[in-house]
């Protein structure tokens, strides 16, 4: 029976089991936070897709609800104002949180007409006032994701151009050129819209100051701090 040869003096030793480095508490916390953020982003995206798919299949009203605001009632004597229930509040929160416009909401079956929505939003005592604030607080994250997707994913489109050329008999022939490519101009327009909206909603993060005097020193605060530093009289 052949015995196993021992490695020579210069031979490398056999690789043993690799021991994983033990993570510190700070590293474990960072890994858990990153995993939680990934799961939360995935779940939020799934919820948004469900809300938007539901919006696509939502039946529309038979009349133009936005025209009620302009004085045309479409055969209606007054604006449609349903009772404000918990179910309606949840539906409005879902619609507003995914960026659905008020005109689109007013055109959905069972939703209040546009004048009613505007009146509810203007009343600070109405439940929709707070629901609208909570729903719109989620829009910056949604618009950041959409702006990133517009920048990374090409918007494939078809560009058609017409021109006139001479055929071999000397006649004029209309020729249509069809070219498929990335619709860069449309992507620029969408990015400009998201940049403008995010700049006004989050000026500190996205670089637009809604109030030019925000960076100027506050004289009242300065006087208050000076009086505190001087101590009691």
Higher pLDDT, 155 or 108: 108
In the 3-class helix/strand/coil scheme, how is the chain assigned residue by residue? Answer: CCCCCCCCCCCCCCCCCCCCCCCCHHHHHHHHHHHHHHHHHHHHHHHHHHHHHHHHCCCECCCCCHHHHCCCCCCCCCCCCCCCCHHHHHHHHHHHHCCCCHHHHHCECCCCCHHHHHHHHHCCCCHHHHHHHHHHCCHHHHHHHHHHHHHHCCCEEEEEEEEEEECCCCCEEEEEEEEEEECHHHHHHHHHHHHHHHHHHCHHHHCCCCCHHHHCCCHHHHHHHHHHHHCCC
Q: Which residues contact 145 (CB under 8 A, 6 or more apart)?
A: 45
Q: What was the pLDDT predicted at 80?
A: 82
pLDDT band at 233 (very low <50, low <70, confident <90, very high): low
The predicted pLDDT at position 41 comes to: 62
Residue 231 inside a domain? The answer is no
Same domain (yes/no): 152, 188: yes
Mean pLDDT of all residues belonging to the chain = 76
Q: Is the pLDDT of residue 52 over 90?
A: no
pLDDT band at 56 (very low <50, low <70, confident <90, very high): confident
d(CA 150, CA 45) in angstroms, rounded, equals 16
Distance (Å, whole) CA 136 – CA 141: 10
* Residue 3 forms part of a structural domain: no
Token readout for 88 is 């309606």
Q: Classify residue 52 by burial, with Cβ atoms within 10 Å: 0-12, 13-18, 19+.
A: middle
User: Do 94 and 139 meet the contact criterion of CB atoms below 8 Å apart?
Assistant: no
Number of domains in the chain: 2
**Domain shared by 129 and 98, yes or no:** yes
Cβ neighbours of residue 112 under 8 Å, at least 6 residues apart?
79, 80, 81, 82, 106, 120
**Has residue 198 been placed in a domain?**
yes
**76, 153: one domain:** no
pLDDT at residue 73 is higher than 50: no
Per-residue confidence (pLDDT) for residue 120, from 0 to 100: 94
pLDDT level of residue 180 (50, 70, 90 thresholds): confident
Q: For the whole model, what pTM was predicted?
A: 0.55
CA-based max dimension of the chain: 105
Q: Which of 83, 115, 137 is the last residue of a domain?
A: 137
Structural domain that includes position 104:
41-137
| Position 160 pLDDT exceeds 70 | yes
pLDDT recorded at residue 72: 47
Domain boundary (94, 119, 137) is at 137
Among 137, 158, 177, residue at a domain's last position: 137
pLDDT at 89 over 60: yes
Are 131 and 144 found together in one domain?
A: no
Reading the block at residue 171, the tokens are 């006649």
Residue with tokens 């070219």: 179
In a domain, 230, yes or no: no
User: Are 92 and 133 members of one domain?
Assistant: yes
Residues 188, 151 within the same domain? yes
Q: What is the pLDDT of residue 92?
A: 94
Answer yes or no: do 119 and 163 share one domain: no
């Amino acid at each position: 029976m052949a015995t196993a040869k021992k490695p020579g003096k210069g031979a490398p030793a056999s690789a043993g089991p690799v021991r994983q480095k033990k993570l510190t508490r700070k590293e474990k916390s960072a890994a858990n936070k990153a995993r939680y953020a990934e799961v939360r982003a995935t779940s939020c995206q799934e919820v948004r897709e469900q809300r938007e798919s539901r919006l696509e299949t939502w039946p529309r009203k038979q009349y133009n609800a936005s025209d009620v605001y302009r004085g045309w009632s479409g055969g209606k004597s007054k604006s449609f104002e349903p009772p404000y229930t918990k179910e309606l509040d949840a539906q409005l929160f879902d619609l507003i949180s995914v960026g659905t416009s008020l005109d689109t909401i007013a055109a959905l079956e069972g939703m209040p007409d546009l004048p009613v929505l505007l009146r509810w939003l203007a009343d600070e005592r109405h439940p929709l006032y707070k629901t609208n604030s909570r729903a719109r607080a989620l829009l910056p994250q949604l618009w950041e994701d959409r702006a990133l997707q517009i920048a990374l994913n090409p918007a494939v489109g078809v560009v058609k151009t017409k021109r006139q050329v001479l055929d071999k008999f000397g006649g004029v022939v209309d020729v249509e050129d069809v070219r498929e490519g990335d619709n860069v101009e449309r992507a620029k327009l969408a990015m400009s819209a998201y940049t403008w909206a995010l700049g006004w909603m989050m000026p500190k993060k996205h670089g637009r100051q809604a109030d030019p005097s925000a960076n100027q020193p506050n004289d009242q605060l300065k006087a208050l701090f000076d009086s505190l530093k001087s101590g009691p009289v």
